[in-house]
């Protein structure tokens, strides 16, 4: 009898261990675990301790106001409103003060950042996963999202500079000779009035860089555009939407004014510093990053991938690890007159991609 008890006890322990291991396999649980553990370590009083001890591991959901869509970004980005995590590693860092005027319960995250709100893994949330591209809007591309609600009136000029420049370029290159935008323009190419919801910024960038590599047989001319020009036109194109958020927030926006701090992160109270990431908790394969970071849209490896940039099948022979890192950090430093976009990759992504590419020989 005692032997039986001992054995069933062992089995139970084994089963429990297995369940726990499986549960911890979920990436988001690891971030929640880390967050509550750090919160407990940092707790300054009994209430904070109690809070940290009593948190349950669960998928967190935000319902964004107008669209009634579900967003799970805060399942991992847990500390957006926690000042004690100002300097923590992502995804556990406090957000800049922008969330004071755009509280997550009301706005969610996707209105500004893009991405796939329903996903519960980093790769899928930040890019939509393989095949579907919903890349996050990063760096200056975020301007398109701000403009979508604010227009020019309630944002400082610095926050709309790229959009203005993009508009000027669209006039200069007479894109509307072939394209309609809001009812004005020619008909040789497709209507662009809603292109910002139809396409991702990465697709638009790639298409402008080399239309024929993206749309087989395209008759759109290849313009001699610099990297910055392609970027700014792309940002402008991302503002072209039929269903504007502006309607929903119109009343609240009436009250907003352009007196506020511009988008340059240095000026906000959470400075942008070299970002640490907890992603090392879960490492992704270089091949997965190659898809998720959008490289595949422009580059091929073997027979798979786009033709906008050169094939990378043997890139390990050609570029040193050092140059590869430099290039991914800022393409301008290695290919000054090229069209490869700044992708705002994190150090972890750059390391993972470099490890993968250096072995392609």
Residues in 88-147 that interact with ligand HEC by CB under 6 A = 90-91, 95-96, 98-99, 101-102, 104, 107, 109-113, 115-117, 119-122, 125-126, 136, 138, 142, 145-146
Least distance from ligand HEC to the Cβ atom of residue 5, Å: 41
Q: Is 353 in the site for ligand HEC (CB under 6 A)?
A: yes
CA-based torsion, 283, 289, 292, 293: positive or negative = positive
First vs last C-alpha separation in the chain: 64
344 binds ligand HEC (CB under 6 A): yes
Asked if residue 28 binds ligand HEC (CB under 6 A), the reply is yes
Distance in angstroms (rounded) separating the CA atoms of residues 275 and 44: 26
The single residue among 8, 257, 283, 330 that binds ligand HEC, judged by CB under 6 A, is 257
Window 34-63: residues binding ligand HEC (CB under 6 A): none
The pair of structure tokens assigned to 163 is: 């959009």
The yes or no reply on residue 150 touching ligand HEC (CB under 6 A) is yes
Question: Packing angle between helix 227-238 and helix 201-209, nearest 10 degrees?
Answer: 140
The DSSP element (H or E) to which 70 belongs, if any, is strand 69-71
Q: How many Cβ atoms from other residues are within 10 Å of residue 128's Cβ?
A: 19
Cβ proximity to ligand HEC, 162 vs 209, nearer residue: 209
Bridge partners of 69, per DSSP, are 64
Q: How far apart are CA 197 and CA 188, in angstroms?
A: 21
Residue 170, interface with ligand HEC (CB under 6 A)? Answer: yes
Under the criterion CB under 6 A, does residue 241 sit at the interface with ligand HEC?
Answer: no
For ligand HEC, the closer of residues 49 and 307 by Cβ is: 307
Instruction: Indicate the residue among 39 and 240 with the shorter CB distance to ligand HEC.
Output: 240
In the complex, the smallest distance separating the C-beta of residue 268 from ligand HEC, rounded to whole angstroms, is 5
> What is the footprint of ligand HEC within residues 280-339 (CB under 6 A)?
293-295, 297-299, 308-310, 312, 315, 318-319, 324, 327-328, 331, 335, 338-339
d(CA 335, CA 46): 56
List the alpha helices (DSSP H) in 193-285: 195-198, 201-209, 211-214, 227-238, 246-255
Q: Apex CA 127: angle with CA 272 and CA 290, to 5°?
A: 95
Could you say whether residue 163 binds ligand HEC (CB under 6 A)? no
Instruction: Identify the bridge partners of residue 324 per DSSP, sorted by sequence position.
Output: none
Beta carbon of residue 15, minimum distance to ligand HEC (angstroms, whole number): 27
Binds ligand HEC (CB under 6 A): choice among 163, 205, 232, 286:
205
Binding mask 214-233 for ligand HEC (x = CB under 6 A): -x--xxxx-x---------x
3-state secondary structure of 301: strand
């Amino acid at each position: 009898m005692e032997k039986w008890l001992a054995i069933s006890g062992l089995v139970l322990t084994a089963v429990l261990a297995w369940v726990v291991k499986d549960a911890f396999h979920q990436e988001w649980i690891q971030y929640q675990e880390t967050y509550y553990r750090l919160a407990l370590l940092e707790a300054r009083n009994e209430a904070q301790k109690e809070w940290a001890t009593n948190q349950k591991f669960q998928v967190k959901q935000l319902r964004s106001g107008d669209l009634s869509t579900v967003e799970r970004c805060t399942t991992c980005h847990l500390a957006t409103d926690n000042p004690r995590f100002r300097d923590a590693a992502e995804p556990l860092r406090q957000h800049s003060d922008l969330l004071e005027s755009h509280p997550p319960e009301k706005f969610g995250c996707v209105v500004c950042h893009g991405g796939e709100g329903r996903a519960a893994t980093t790769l899928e949330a930040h890019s939509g996963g393989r095949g579907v591209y919903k890349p996050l809007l990063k760096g200056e591309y975020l301007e398109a999202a701000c403009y979508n609600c604010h227009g020019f009136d309630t944002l400082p000029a610095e926050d709309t500079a790229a959009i203005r420049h993009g508009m000027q370029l669209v006039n200069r290159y007479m894109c509307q000779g072939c394209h309609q935008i809001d009812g004005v323009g020619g008909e040789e190419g497709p209507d662009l009035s809603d292109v910002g919801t139809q396409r991702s910024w990465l697709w638009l960038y790639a298409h402008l860089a080399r239309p024929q590599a993206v749309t087989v047989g395209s008759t759109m001319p290849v313009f001699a555009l610099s990297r910055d020009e392609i970027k700014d036109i792309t940002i402008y194109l991302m503002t072209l939407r039929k269903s504007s958020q502006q309607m929903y927030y119109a009343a609240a926006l009436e009250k907003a004014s352009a007196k506020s701090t511009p988008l340059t992160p240095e000026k906000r109270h959470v400075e942008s510093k070299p970002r640490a990431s907890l992603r090392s908790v879960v490492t992704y394969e270089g091949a997965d990053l190659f898809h998720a970071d959008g490289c595949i849209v422009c580059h091929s490896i073997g027979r798979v991938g786009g033709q906008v940039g050169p094939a990378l099948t043997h890139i390990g022979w050609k570029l040193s690890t050092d140059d590869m890192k430099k290039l991914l950090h800022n393409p301008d430093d290695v290919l000054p007159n090229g069209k490869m976009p700044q992708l705002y990759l994190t150090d972890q992504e750059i390391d993972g991609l470099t490890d993968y590419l250096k072995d392609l020989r």
